[in-house]
Amino acid sequence: MIGGLYAITRETDASVRLLSEVEAALRGGAAVVQYRDKSGDVARQHEQASELLALCRRYRVPLIINDSLRLADLVGADGVHLGSDDGNLHEARIVLGADKIIGVSCYQSLDLALAAQAAGADYVAFGSFFASATKPAAPRADITLLQHASGVLQLPIVAIGGITPDNAESLIEAGADALAVIHALFEAADIEARARCFADFFIAETED
């Protein structure tokens, strides 16, 4: 089950700092970690993904690889996240096996999410809900999409795009099971405290 704070790594060649930042997020309560690196540096990607996997294992948190089915399979990661240009879900399931996690970006489309669910996805992601420093030109998703999706989908829903402590609660109340965060988490002065802040939103929602 995917839920809670879904931490997405920043792209960097500083591997020691990357591991330190991710461990701080894990200490603060990150429930999922996604390794994201678009550099094309295969050696770096393999090294960082392998070290992150070992770290996540210690915290019993799944490591998802962004976009690269090959890398996910190579390092034995817990799953892969697929965008619209990253291959098809059926192929990913064959390569990774039934026990791995496969997530699918559905952007602003409930139809894409329904198709992903029918094809065997383990979770879907919608966004961008707010202005995003990672993808500033990304089209916006309306928060009502979460309300509609939570009523018809039987799998976890991840919200992404410009999420901060100021807007996180509204997304959870609308139906998001997980919040995917990069900048508001890893650019915080205290990453562990910021992770705990996000994680606490889910605890509060459960208590309500």
CA distance 152 to 150: 6
**Catalytic hit among 17, 38, 57, 135:** 135
**Catalytic hit among 36, 68, 100, 132:** 36
Judge contact between 159 and 129, C-beta under 8 A: yes
The residues, any chain, with a CB within 8 Å of residue 49's CB and separated by 6 or more, are 35, 63, 65, 71, 75, 77
Is 38 a known active-site residue? no
Phi, psi at 105, each rounded to 5°: -75, 125
Distance of CA 190 to the CA centre of its chain: 20
Is 36 a known active-site residue? yes
**Catalytic hit among 68, 105, 128, 132:** 105
State the catalytic residues.
Answer: 36, 105, 135
